[in-house]
Structure 1
Amino acid sequence: MIDGMRFRPISPGLLVTEVAERIIRRADDSWTRVAVDGAPPTSTGEFADRLAEELRVLGRAVLRVSSHDFLRPASLRYERGRTDPDSRYDDWLDVGALNREVFGPLGAGGSGRVLPTFWDAPRDRASRAEYVTLPAGGVLVLDGELLLGRGFPLDCSVHLWLSPAALRRRLTEAWALPAFERYDATVHPLDLADFAVRVDDPVRPAVLDESP
C-alpha cells in the first residue's frame, strides 16, 4: 500500500487473462478500442502483444497499432529541440492522425477500414502503409506513452505505472522525466485507467484495486 493506494499482486499471465476477459465480456457487434499506456521502461508493446494474442485465442479479431507509428514529423516534434520535455508531452503524438485514421473508422457508423501505421519516424516520412479492415466485433489494441486524457474514445485502458523512484531509475531518456511527471500530476492515469498496474518489478506486477 502506497499513499492510500492498495495494490493486489498478480502474475503477468493472469493479468493478461483478466484484461482479456474484461474486454470479451464487453465486446459486442461494434468494435472495442483498447489502449495500453505507460512510460517507455514499462514495455507497453510487449504487454499489448500478449494481450492481442490472448484475445485471438478467445476468438476475437485483433488489430495491433503502436502510437510510435503515429508521431508527427521531426520538424514539428523537435521545433523546440530534441530534448524538450514539453514537446514530448504536447507535440510528439499526432493525435489528429490517430483519430482520423484509427478511432474514427472504428466508431459508430465507421467503416472499420484503418490505417495501421501513419509515419515512419526513423526515416521521417509517411509509412505508405495499406489500409486494413477490422471486422465488426474486432478489437483494437493500441500501445504507447502519454495516451490517456487526450479524448480518445477508449472502451478499456491499461496503465502500466512505475513509482517515481523506479521511473527515475529506469527511464534512459532522463531529459523526458518532467513530461511523465507532468502526466501523473495533471492527467492522473492511475485514476483514469480501467486497469492500473504497478510494474516496478515487471515479473511481479500488482493491480490497483482501490484508491482514495
Structure 2
Amino acid sequence: MRVHPISPERLAELLADRIADLSADGRRVRVALDGAPAAGPGALADALVEPLRLRGRPVQRVSAADFLRPASVRLEYGHQDADAYHDGWLDDGALLREVLDPLEPGGTGRILPTFRDPATDRSTRARYVELPPGGVLLLDGPLLLGRWLPFELTVHLALGPAALARRTAPEEQWTLPAFARYQAETDPIALADLTVRCDDPRHPALIEA
C-alpha cells in the first residue's frame, strides 16, 4: 500500500478530473464521498462542485443525512445506540428510489435532492430536479459502502482511531463503536475506488493498493 501526500486543492482537482473522465461519454455519474462526519465528506463534496462545473459537468449535491429513516425506526433502541446507527439509520430504499435508480443508464434523471428533515422528522417537500446526461451526483455521508448501492466512483475518507476520536464532537462520541464495526466488517478502504487518509485535514494523502 502506497501513501501519497497531496494538498486539498490538488485533491479536488484530481478527483474532478477522474469524475469528468467517467462522464465523458454523456452518462450520468454517481459519486459517493464516504466518511465519518469528522472526516468532512460533505466539505470535500462541496469542494468538487466548482471544479466539475468548470469542466462542463452539471452537478447535484445530495447528503445522506437527508435520507434517514423515521425517528420511530432509527431511534427504536434509544438516541445513542451505535449498532442501530450502523445498521438502520440510512433509508437505503428511499435513496435508491429517489436518487440512485433514476440515474441509471436510460433513467429519467429526475431525482429528489432531500427526502426527510432529520430535525423535524418530516418530509422536506422538496421538488424533483433533473440531472442532465453527463451530469454528476455527489453524495456524501457515513457508512455508505457495503450496502450494494450503485455508484460509478466511491471515495472513502479514512481516519485512524485516535484521529477519529479526537475530531469527533463530544456529543457524537457514542458513534465511535459503529465506525469501529464499519472498519472491521466492511473494510471500506478495500471497497472504495479511492481512499484519502485525512488524519490532518490540512495534509491529506491518497492511498493506493
Q: SS of the counterpart of 2:114?
A: coil
Gaps of 5+ in 2: none
Alignment-derived partner of residue 6 in structure 1: 2
Q: SS of the counterpart of 2:179?
A: helix
Partners of 1:68 and 1:54 lie apart in 2 by 24
Aligned pair partner of 2:161 in 159, 164, 168: 164
Q: How does 1:107-146 map to 2 (within 5 A)?
A: 107-146=104-143
Partners of 2:196 and 2:122 lie apart in 1 by 35
Alignment-derived partner of residue 23 in structure 1: 19
Alignment-derived partner of residue 33 in structure 2: 36
Letter in 2 for 1:207: L
When the two structures are aligned, how many residues end up with a matched partner? 206
Alignment-derived partner of residue 193 in structure 2: 194
Alignment-derived partner of residue 52 in structure 1: 49
Q: SS of the counterpart of 1:178?
A: helix
Q: SS of the counterpart of 2:78?
A: coil
Q: SS of the counterpart of 2:30?
A: strand
Alignment-derived partner of residue 205 in structure 1: 204
Q: Following TM superposition, where does structure 1 have runs of at least 4 consecutive aligned residues deviating by more than 6 angstroms?
A: none
Partners of 2:193 and 2:145 lie apart in 1 by 11
Partners of 1:116 and 1:188 lie apart in 2 by 28
Letter in 2 for 1:97: A
Aligned pair partner of 1:152 in 145, 149, 170: 149
Give the C-alpha shift of residue 25 in structure 1: 1.3
C-alpha distance after superposition, 1:169-212 (max 9, x if no partner): 222211111100100111111111121011110000011022xx
Letter in 2 for 1:120: D
- Aligned pair 1:98/2:95, yes or no? yes
Give the C-alpha shift of residue 52 in structure 1: 1.7
Partners of 1:200 and 1:138 lie apart in 2 by 31
TM-score by length of 1: 0.95
What's the % identity of the aligned pairs? 56
